[in-house]
Amino acid sequence: MTSCAALVVAAGRGSRFGSAVPKQYADLGGSAVVRHSLRALSDHPRVSRVVPVIHPDDHAVFAEAAKGLPIASPVLGGATRQESVRLGLDALSIDPPDVVLVHDGARPHVPSDLIDRVLGGLSEHAGVIPVMPVAETLKRVGNDGVITETVSRDGVVRAQTPQGFHFSVLREAHAQCAGQSLTDDAAILEANGHSVQTVAGDEANIKVTTKNDLQRVADAMSETRTAMGFDVHRFGPGDGVTLGGVFIPMDKSLLGHSDADVVLHAATDAILGALGDGDIGVHFPPSDVSYKDAPSSMFLIFAADRLRAQAGQLVHLDLTIICERPKLVAVRDDMRVSIAQIAGVSPQRISVKATTTEGLGFTGRGEGIACQAVATVKAVPLAT
C-alpha cells in the first residue's frame, strides 16, 4: 500500500493579514486556523503522517493550537516558503513516504474528496495539484497603475493546495532549485522538466490572506444546526414572575435556584444544545451558591458568547410558553425585545408564543410554567 505523509507549511508571518498574530493562528470558530488544516489532513484515512513546519518563534503558540492532535513534532521552517518545504522534506527523508502532500497551514477548509482526487492522480503522475477556473477578466498593470495589457483567461487557472507529489521526485527537484524563489511546489517540478497534472479544486478551499478571507472561510465552514430546550418551574409565594427578562406582577413567583426565568433557561439550553455544549446544569450547577437568585440573563449571555466564539450566529429562536396565567399577550413584544437584547440579535430573530393546556396537567392546574425553545444556529464546528 502506498504510504502518504503531509507537510503543513505554517512558518509565514502573514503581513497582509494585518494582525500581531500570524494568520495561521487567528481564531476560527474557537480554534486556530492551522488546527483546522492539521485536523483535515490527520483525519484523512490515506494520510499516515502529518508534519507541521513552523516559524522558530512560534513554538508556544503552535503547541497550544495543535494540542492533542495526532501529528508529528514540528519542523522549523526557513526564510521562504520554498526553504520551509525543503526542510520539511529533509525531516521526512529519515523514513521517506511514497508520496507527500504539501498544504498551506492557512487553508483550513480542505474537503476530504479533494484530497482523494489529488492522491488518485498520483497513481499516474509525478505531481498533481488542485485548480480552480478564473472567472474574472485579467489585466496586467504597470507601476503607475495604468493597464498595459488584457491577459487572456484561456488555459489560466488558480492553484490550490494540498499539492501531491512522489516524494523522491519532489525532494530531488527541491535540491536542484535551492536558492530560487518559486511560489509553489508545482513550479519546482516544472523547473526540473516534470509535468504536473491538475484535478478539480474546491471553491470552499479558501486561503486566508486577509481578515475578509477569514470571514469567507468561516461562512464556508459553518453548519446550520437546530436544537430544543425545555424547562419547568413551579409556583411559590411572591409578587410576580420574570419571563424572558421581563418582570410581570402577579400574586405568585416561580421557584428556582436563580430567578427561575423559565423562558431564558429553555432558550439557553436550546443554544447550548445546538453547539453540543451541555446545558445550564453543566455550566451553572445549582449546587453552586454563587448562582443563588442570579438573573437568568447571565445564562443566555453565556450561551450567546459560546456561539460567537465558534464564529456563529443565532439565526432564529422560537419560544412557546405554556401556562394558564399570567396572560402574556400584552408583554409578548416586550419579551421579544428583551430576549433579543440579551442574546445580541435583532428582535426579528426571536419568536415568542404562549399557549395553555386547556386545564390539563400541572400547568393547567396553575402549579407552574413550562417553556419550549427551538434554536437554529450557524456555527463553525470545533476542530477537536
pLDDT in tens, 196-221: 999 999 999 999 999 999 999 999 99
pLDDT band at 19 (very low <50, low <70, confident <90, very high): confident
Three-state SS at 229: strand
pLDDT of residue 20: 79
Query: How far is the C-alpha of 112 from the C-alpha of 181, rounded, in Å?
Result: 30
How do residues 291-302 score in pLDDT, each as one tens digit? 888 999 999 999
Q: Which pTM does this prediction carry? A: 0.83
State yes or no: pLDDT of 188 exceeds 90: yes
Per-residue pLDDT band for 330 (boundaries 50, 70, 90) equals very high
| Cβ neighbour number for residue 358 with a 10 Å cutoff | 8
Per-residue pLDDT at 315: 97
227/373 Cα distance (integer angstroms): 8
- Give the per-residue pLDDT at 289: 87
DSSP for residue 108:
-
Instruction: State the DSSP code for 174.
Output: H
Give the mean model confidence (pLDDT) for residues 303-316.
Answer: 93
What pLDDT was estimated at residue 115? 98
Which residues fall within 8 angstroms of residue 14, CB to CB, at 6 or more apart?
A: 22, 23, 24, 106, 209
Retrieve residue 38's grid coordinates. Answer: 492539521
* Cα 243 from Cα 260, distance rounded (Å): 8
- Cβ contact 367:235 at 8 Å: yes
- The residue with greater pLDDT, 114 or 381, is 114
Q: Tell me the per-residue pLDDT of 355-373, one tens digit each, with 9 for 90 and over.
A: 999 999 999 999 999 999 9
pLDDT at site 1: 73
pLDDT in tens, 251-301: 999 999 899 999 999 999 999 999 999 999 999 998 888 888 899 999 999
